[in-house]
Amino acid sequence: MYRLPLVLLTAALLLSGCTVAAYDALSTDSIAKPRFGDNDPVDFGQRHPHLHDVHGIDVSKWNGEIDWQAARKSGVAFAFIKATEGKDRVDSSFERNWRGAAAAGLPHAPYHFYYFCSTADEQADWFIRNVPKSAVRLPPVLDAEWNHASPTCKLRPPPARVRASLQRFMDRIEAHYGKRPIIYTTVDFHRDNLVGHFDDYHFWVRSTAAHPEDIYASRTWAFWQYTATGVVPGVNGNTDINVFAGTQKNWQAWVASVTD
């Protein structure tokens, strides 16, 4: 099973001067200029995301047709691409997006939006059925959040049941693809269900109003989604932008470790 990259990333960041507890704390010039535009920028103070070397996007059908070559030339270093939702939905742009990202030479990973009105096995079966191994260069992502806008499922299971379901899904995905999934989550879902759990997984956290260190208690993160209103060449309209926790050198080492 896929275990080593978590150790490799932590070790690489330790060697670069970061701690295990906060490997997102980079020693970088505090006057770094924004890599991309933003239609509704937030003042993150001196810990702003532009201190980080490696930026990427996450996309779905709502982003329309993407010019992946233009996105890469602009500085996009990776992409998380929506693949599936629940037990019966496939993002209509998934295949086009992952093939486009691959053709542009961008490291990419598919993500699954978890739906609490379906079982973990139903959703794992659906993801495996619709996501070929060739679409999984970086580890696949489990998107775990409360779906406030769902017209069909308002279910919020108790925390222990939530964690058991997520673990079952991730175990199935890891067994099939040979890569330990990344967990994407939001502030409220993390607070309700994940604090103190899944410490042996990489986390991708949403934090668009403050630095993750301020709102994710004791959580070491690998990716930070810092805006939903970013402006990226090749992508129409607003888009999510993310940063990787480590340096460019850390990134290259980690990508090499997870794509072998």
Task: State the catalytic residues.
Answer: 58, 145
Cβ(132)–Cβ(95) below 8 Å: no
- Compute the distance between CA of residue 180 and CA of residue 206 in angstroms, rounded to an integer: 20
**Longest CA–CA separation in the chain, Å:** 48
- Burial grade of 200 (CB within 10 A; 0-12, 13-18, 19 or more): exposed
**For 4, phi and psi rounded to 5 degrees?**
-60, -40
Strands (E), the chain: 37-38, 55-59, 76-85, 89-90, 108-113, 141-144, 182-185, 203-206, 223-231, 239-244
Q: Which of 244, 255, 259 is nearest to 133 (CA)?
A: 259
Rounded to an integer, what is the distance from CA 69 to the centroid of its chain? Answer: 21
- Compute the distance between CA of residue 80 and CA of residue 57 in angstroms, rounded to an integer: 6
Query: In the beta sheet, which residues pair with residue 183?
Result: 142, 203
